[in-house]
Structure 1
Amino acid sequence: MIIGTRGSRLALWQAHYVQAQLKEIGITSELNVIKTQGDKIQHLTFDKLEGKGFFTKEIEDKLLAGEIDIAVHSLKDMPTDQVEGLTFAALSYRASVNDVILIHKERAVAGKPFQLADGATIGTSSNRRKAQLVDLHPGLVPVDIRGNVPTRLNKARTGEMDAVMLAAAGLERLELDLSDLVVVRPSPREFVPAPGQGVMAIQTRKDDLETRKKLAPLHNVTVGECTNVERTVLNMMDGGCSLPLGVYCEQDQLGNYHVWAAYASAADAPVKRVQISRSTRAGLPEAIVESLLG
């Protein structure tokens, strides 16, 4: 089985993880590293890149052409409208879902929100993060940054920025040493993550029923149900990676669904927050959207 993946350290970690899972169920595989638009164009922020799916399109093209059998993606990078002919065969376990603030040790200020002073610079390319950061700490100055996880971390390490914000899942999966930085972990119920954050998606051709059947044991049902709620909200808001929208759904031991959402019309616009709990997913995304836009 040929696995298509991006070439960043994190993307390769994810592809190797899936490769190990396949091996456990008796399937041998090899990796095919593919450069995407998002990898090639590093000088533009996400909202300036063309369309949706700029970390996925080239990989999906090779999948449709039959050059690869499956693709491994970060679910949060995936457009909510699947490319015609493709489908998710499995979704992984969910790593820590929250975002993390990493601060240069000499710039941390005890007693301030996020341990950051008024006027502190924080690196992030995400409109969702920018909107929520300024909503919770109006004195912050978000600054656009691009690059892989180690490159962005270095912005805080060198003091070029006072802090950077990254997804906890990537930091955990790469097992990076953060001992030289001050680490602040906001709750995902307060600082709402991207839909699908912390989850890997395995994609294949819709008509490749044999591969889909083989991959079925890798699918995490609860993660699938919760991220479906999150991504349905994103779809209904007609959003991609650049929409300032956070949605997080979790299921409790009784089977009830709890959803937190935060939305702004732009990175510098006010943030509206909602929290809704229900015993069923039916109508839940619609209720979230109605509350956010109401």
Structure 2
Amino acid sequence: MSKTIRIGTRDSELALWQAHTVQKKLNDLGYTTEIVAVKSQGDIILDKPLYELGITGIFTKTLDIAMINGQVDIAVHSMKDVPTALPQGIVQAAVLERANTLDILVHKGNLDFLTTTGTIATGSLRRQAQWWHKYPSHQVVDLRGNVNTRMQKLAESDWNGAVFAAAGLERINLKPENYINLDWMIPAPAQGAMLVVAMANDEFTKDAVSQLNDIETEICTYIERQFLKTLEGGCTAPIGALAQYDEEKDTIEFKGVLFSVDGKQKIEIEKSVDISEWKKLGFYSAQEILNNGGAELMTKIKATLKK
């Protein structure tokens, strides 16, 4: 059996770049493909912070529906936007090799504000909490929209800077000269990774897409997303996680962190385990956080976000 694999994607420049990347890889393997662009609610509603919209997976839900309705065969996502529990009937088909995991600060050329007061923009609770933890005197304002829109809003504002995922800007050649790596900021679980999902009953498509899977990225993102899921964070709580494979030692190095929304409270964990122990690493790390005050903090976070 042979068929054209219809690739569902959001219609932003970055989302289309991701879809075209998957399309090229599948075409190189001899498959026929077409791209179907769909607008998500997360792209349409730009005047509210993400957590206020109250929808887990706001950037993925529209594509999930298109897949279930048979309009597309696969969807390509930034993995950090994808809820830890996929909809019934949809499965993870491949995780592509990971790009840069860092957050970066894009600034206006003058960094004096880092030692005084300043205004930083981000639509992410995780970035906001970590920024306030390090710079409690700063103001953090909400910034929404696709990467291009956010860069434009920064340019037109009087803000000192805005926080972006390095991978997104690098993929579409938007990373400016005036940036600094925020290597102290723990990234979102699965940041820098691209996920392809397919219908569970579509063996042809699953077999095709599985050839794009990168096993090291799959393992590391699994650990990070298991950590997130165990903390019951969804996509919006101030949770960071990063798992990295150390080839020399044959170990997984893991860092996980949970912050209060205002950045004042921080509960973190660092672990190094043999590669053979990866399957439960995210779960056990999250359990330690929960037992170390994290359960109470998660209750507070949920109450704060409901207000």
Unaligned runs of 5+ in 2: 293-307
1:24 & 1:159 partners in 2: Cα distance? Answer: 43
Which amino acid is 2:179 matched to? V
Q: Deviations over 1:128-186 (max 9, x none)?
A: 0011111122222111011121221233333421100000000110112513xx21102
Which amino acid is 2:207 matched to? K
2:175 & 2:186 partners in 1: Cα distance? Answer: 25
1:272 & 1:118 partners in 2: Cα distance? Answer: 26
- The residue number in structure 1 matching 2:220 is 226
Q: Deviations over 1:85-113 (max 9, x none)?
A: 000110111110010001111x322xxxx
For 2:137, what is the secondary structure of its paired residue? coil
Equivalenced residue count is 284
**1:195 maps to 2:189:** yes
**1:152 maps to 2:150:** yes
**1:183 maps to 2:179:** yes
Give the % identical residues.
34
Q: Deviations over 1:191-241 (max 9, x none)?
A: 100001011111100011111111111000010001000000111111122
For 1:128, what is the secondary structure of its paired residue? helix
TM-score normalised according to structure 1 size = 0.93
Q: Is the 8 A contact 1:104 1:159 kept in 2?
A: no
2:273 & 2:244 partners in 1: Cα distance? Answer: 11
Aligned-pair CA distance for 1:267: 4.0
Q: Deviations over 1:22-67 (max 9, x none)?
A: 1110112111111111111111101101320100111001101111
- The residue number in structure 1 matching 2:31 is 27
Which structure is higher in helix share?
2
Which amino acid is 1:270 matched to? Q
Q: Is the 8 A contact 2:154 2:162 kept in 1?
A: yes
Q: Is the 8 A contact 1:128 1:267 kept in 2?
A: no
For 1:122, what is the secondary structure of its paired residue? strand
- The residue number in structure 1 matching 2:111 is 108
Q: Is the 8 A contact 1:247 1:261 kept in 2?
A: yes
1:157-168 → structure 2 map (5 Å cutoff):
157-168=155-166
For 1:138, what is the secondary structure of its paired residue? coil
1:1-294 → structure 2 map (5 Å cutoff):
1-105=5-109, 107-109=110-112, 116-176=114-174, 178-179=176-177, 182-187=178-183, 190-253=184-247, 254-279=249-274, 280-293=277-290, 294=292
Q: Is the 8 A contact 2:166 2:175 kept in 1?
A: no
Q: Is the 8 A contact 1:46 1:241 kept in 2?
A: no
For 1:164, what is the secondary structure of its paired residue? strand
Q: Is the 8 A contact 2:130 2:263 kept in 1?
A: no
Aligned-pair CA distance for 1:3: 0.5
